[in-house]
Structure formats: structure tokens, C-alpha cells
Amino acid sequence: MYRKLLACSILCLSLMSWSIQTTYAAVPTLISDHWSVSLDAPDSDNPNMSTPVPNKVNMYSLKLKNTGGQAYHVRVQAFRDEPGSHTQMQLAVNGIVAPVWESGRELTVHHNLPVLAKANDIEVVVYWETAEDQDKIVHGKKAARTWKQSFHFKQKALRR
């Protein structure tokens, strides 16, 4: 009886670990004149963080690199499409990721980004200000112009 219980336990544990493992395609990176954005496998081994749920929720890390000039007050948002709708759901908001972001600097913005498995499109939006706009004053207040760029990833291309 003990052997059957032990064998059943081992079988269940091995099936669970097999189903939790997820393979990722080559790291998709979208590059513009200002930013390089990558979605990759989650890069945290913290046991308190969420884990993928097969056929329900996938997990990614979100990395951002400044490929342009110096940027100020950089903010990042991530969205996914809502299946069967024209709306999007916000996945993550990162306030000011860096008050000043030097050219060439790379940062992991989100280590464990959960995305509904049924979602097709993942949109990453980056907001920033340029060095030229930092000295603009209008009516006695700082009035730096904000720039925005969107990057779209197709979830099917991220999975194997």
C-alpha cells in the first residue's frame, strides 16, 4: 500500500512539474530609434511570485533598453487585448522607471508579467521626455513635452 501511494505521489508530482514548464521561442525584440523592447521567459525564481497556469496564464519578463539619446521621466505601461472585444486591459504600470535614462542602458521593467493565454496582442507603451524639453517653462511651470511609442507583440509568436 505504501509503495502504491509513493508511486502515485511521484507520478503526480512529475506530471505537475511537466505541465508547469513552458518553453519560449527566441526572445522577440522590437527596436525603434529610441527603444528596444523584449518579452522573454520570467526571470525571477522567487517562490512568492505567480507562476504560469497552463492554457490560462502565461508569464513574461519585460526588458527595455534606451537606443536613442538621454531620456527623462521614463514611464512604461503594458496592455493585453480582451478576447472578443476591441478593448484592452492594463497589465502593468511602472511610474517613473528612471528620472534620467542614459543611452545604451537596459533595465528589466517587469520580472513576472502575467498575460491571459487567450490574449493575442500584448502592447507595451513607453513615455519619455527629451533633454531639449527639460528647460521649457510655460506660465512659470515646467512644461516638458512627453513623447510616446507603442510596441505590439503577438503572443502566438512568443510561445513554442
CATH code, domain carrying 145: 2.60.40
**pLDDT-derived band of residue 136, with 50, 70 and 90 as boundaries?**
confident
Residue 17: inside a domain, yes or no?
Answer: no
Higher pLDDT, 2 or 45: 45
Residue 61: inside a domain, yes or no?
Answer: yes
Average pLDDT of span 117-140: 90
Structural domain boundaries enclosing 130: 25-158
Higher pLDDT, 51 or 9: 51
Higher pLDDT, 115 or 50: 115
What pLDDT sits at residue 42? Answer: 87
Residue 57: inside a domain, yes or no?
Answer: yes
What pLDDT sits at residue 159? Answer: 63
Residue 18: inside a domain, yes or no?
Answer: no
What pLDDT sits at residue 57? Answer: 93
Nearest to 27 by CA among 36, 38, 17, 16: 38
CB contact at 8 A, 29 and 151: no
Nearest to 125 by CA among 59, 60, 77: 77
Note the pTM of the prediction, 2 decimals. Answer: 0.78
Residue 116: inside a domain, yes or no?
Answer: yes
What pLDDT sits at residue 127? Answer: 95
What are 64-85's pLDDT values in tens digits? 999 999 999 999 999 999 888 8
Residue 52 pLDDT more than 80? yes
Residue 13 pLDDT more than 50? no
Residue 13: inside a domain, yes or no?
Answer: no
Overall number of domains in the chain: 1
